[in-house]
């Protein structure tokens, strides 16, 4: 039997079409969750889903599903392919949209080929993955997986003062299905890597086996403001210097470790923030990530130990507040192996890897076997209009998705 091919032009054309929706006055792509631009994007998606002859379902958190049910297997758990179509501010056209549109493309290809799967196949577009307008991010998939009550999510207050539930009503996407109404037999997410590894190594496909755990903390250091000219160096309680020590500690430790640990201080502010005053106060964030939970805990403990020593040595007080914590995710081993085998069967180079970013797949992995497929991101750039993946790689990723879905749906 000749292997099936997706309709590359249809997929690439839809990616471009969706990428034109939600441009602001300056031409930037801004399709924030539950905004007018999001409505326009959702409307386009729903029209394509209907055009493909699929059933459309929308749940109370606004997740959109296109479901292909075959006569004999209507009520079996579906193979689900998902991602998101909301974007960040000034986004590229691929993040999320690629996974959703490729999912639709896979279903249309199987349908047109006359294949009769042994279970339904569904494509899902989850609400507010990016978390730019409403917190938390990955919200729709988290609610779908039962990790956040829908009422709580709908009450989320936006950065612009709006309430998510009211905005979903306004744009016509407050659906009637109870979140979680569709529990997948298996879940797949195809996504651009958003990092440099595949491009650098010249590999076409990533079989994602783990997703890093994330630890976010805010550290506040209190010292004493004093005159920059008259206070001898040995007599200072310099919160700014102590903060700088933490930055250096984290960087040196992560670089020395023979591990994929990454550590970032991305935000910092000083008080009084003046050229001639020793800082009395420094507030900064720490972002620690690691695919191994024990190592991530060890890194958190090492930072805590260092802060205690530092407080004593520098005569400052240090307070730590936890902002977010997600454990690493290990994807389904059998599905990762299927992705690898499918890529090899198509003559594509493939490597097992870790996702550095968060994705809807990590939420759905709580309720179903899940895995992700990555394709290269040129320059590792994402959340940026320069986000790019060559067409051949986009088609290759969708083809691997097609083969894996076909196999899973045959069971």
Give 96 or 369: the residue with its C-beta nearer to Zn ion: 96
Which 8-state DSSP code applies to residue 268?
Answer: E
Give 78 or 96: the residue with its C-beta nearer to Zn ion: 96
Give 83 or 204: the residue with its C-beta nearer to Zn ion: 83
Nearest Cα neighbor of 336 from 186, 207, 189, 193 is 207
3-class DSSP state for residue 191? strand
Among 22, 66, 78, 96, binds Zn ion (CB under 5 A): 96
Of the candidate spans 36-44, 89-97, 101-109, 227-235, the one that interacts with Zn ion by CB under 5 A turns out to be 89-97
- Biggest distance spanned by C-alpha atoms of the chain: 85
Nearest Cα neighbor of 350 from 360, 363, 362, 336 is 336
Q: Residue 246 CB, nearest distance to Zn ion (Å)?
A: 30
CA 248 to chain centre: 28
3-class DSSP state for residue 206? strand
Return d(Cα 36, Cα 278) in angstroms, integer. Answer: 48
Q: Residue 320 CB, nearest distance to Zn ion (Å)?
A: 30
Q: Residue 356 CB, nearest distance to Zn ion (Å)?
A: 12
Q: Residue 378 CB, nearest distance to Zn ion (Å)?
A: 16
Give 68 or 126: the residue with its C-beta nearer to Zn ion: 126
CB-based contacts of 291: which residues, under 8 Å, 6+ apart? 210, 211, 212, 213, 260, 328, 354
Site string for Zn ion, 263-302 (x = CB under 5 A): ----------------------------------------
* Total binding residues toward Zn ion, as defined by CB under 5 A: 2
Give 119 or 359: the residue with its C-beta nearer to Zn ion: 359
Q: How far is CA 39 from CA 104, 134, 173, 174, 399, in A?
A: 19, 16, 8, 11, 29
Return d(Cα 64, Cα 181) in angstroms, integer. Answer: 12
3-class DSSP state for residue 324? strand
Give 19 or 96: the residue with its C-beta nearer to Zn ion: 96
**By the rule CB under 5 A, 195 interacts with Zn ion:** no
Q: How do strand 121-125 and strand 205-211 relate by DSSP bridges?
A: unpaired
Return d(Cα 249, Cα 385) in angstroms, integer. Answer: 34
Of the candidate spans 94-102, 267-275, 305-313, 318-326, the one that interacts with Zn ion by CB under 5 A turns out to be 94-102
Return d(Cα 218, Cα 287) in angstroms, integer. Answer: 9
Of the candidate spans 91-99, 146-154, 155-163, 371-379, the one that interacts with Zn ion by CB under 5 A turns out to be 91-99
Residue nearest to Zn ion (CB): 96
Q: Residue 296 CB, nearest distance to Zn ion (Å)?
A: 22
Angle at 57 between CA 34 and CA 15, to 5 degrees: 60
Give 125 or 406: the residue with its C-beta nearer to Zn ion: 125
Site string for Zn ion, 38-77 (x = CB under 5 A): ----------------------------------------
Give 65 or 126: the residue with its C-beta nearer to Zn ion: 126
Among 38, 59, 86, 95, binds Zn ion (CB under 5 A): 95
Which 8-state DSSP code applies to residue 380?
Answer: G
Give 290 or 387: the residue with its C-beta nearer to Zn ion: 387
Binding region for Zn ion (CB under 5 A): 95-96
């Amino acid at each position: 039997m000749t292997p099936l091919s997706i309709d590359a032009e249809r997929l690439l054309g839809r990616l471009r079409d969706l990428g034109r929706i939600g441009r602001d006055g300056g031409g930037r792509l801004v399709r924030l969750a539950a905004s007018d631009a999001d409505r326009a994007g959702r409307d386009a998606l729903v029209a394509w889903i209907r055009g493909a002859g699929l059933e459309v379902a929308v749940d109370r958190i606004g997740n959109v599903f296109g479901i292909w049910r075959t006569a004999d297997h209507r009520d079996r758990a579906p193979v689900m392919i998902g991602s998101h179509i909301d974007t960040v501010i000034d986004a590229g056209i691929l993040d999320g949209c690629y996974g959703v549109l490729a999912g639709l493309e896979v279903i249309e290809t199987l349908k047109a080929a006359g294949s009769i799967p042994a279970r339904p196949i569904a494509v899902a577009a989850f609400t507010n993955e990016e978390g730019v307008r409403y917190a938390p991010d990955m919200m729709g998939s988290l609610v779908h997986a039962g990790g956040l009550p829908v009422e709580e999510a709908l009450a989320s207050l936006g950065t612009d003062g709006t309430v998510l539930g009211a905005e979903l009503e306004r744009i016509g996407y407050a659906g009637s299905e109870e979140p979680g109404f569709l529990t997948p037999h298996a879940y797949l997410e195809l996504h651009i890597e958003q990092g440099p590894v595949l491009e650098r190594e010249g590999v076409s496909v990533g079989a994602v086996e783990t997703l890093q755990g994330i630890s976010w903390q805010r550290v506040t250091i209190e010292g004493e403001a004093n005159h920059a000219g008259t206070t001898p160096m040995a007599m200072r309680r310099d919160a700014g210097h102590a903060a700088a020590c933490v930055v250096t500690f984290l960087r040196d430790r992560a670089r020395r470790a023979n591990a994929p640990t990454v550590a970032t201080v991305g935000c910092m502010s000083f008080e009084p923030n003046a050229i001639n005053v020793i800082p009395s106060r420094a507030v900064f964030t720490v972002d620690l990530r690691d695919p191994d939970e024990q190592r991530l805990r060890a890194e958190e403990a090492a930072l805590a130990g260092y802060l205690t020593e530092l407080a004593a040595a520098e005569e400052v007080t240090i307070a730590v507040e936890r902002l977010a914590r997600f454990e690493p995710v290990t994807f389904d081993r059998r599905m990762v192996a299927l992705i690898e085998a499918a890529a090899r069967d198509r003559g594509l180079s493939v490597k097992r890897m870790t996702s550095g970013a968060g994705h809807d797949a990590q939420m759905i992995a709580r309720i179903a076997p899940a895995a992700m497929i990555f394709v290269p991101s040129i320059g590792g750039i994402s959340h940026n209009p320069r986000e790019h993946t060559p067409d051949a790689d986009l088609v290759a990723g969708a083809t691997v998705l097609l083969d894996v879905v076909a196999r899973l749906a045959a069971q």
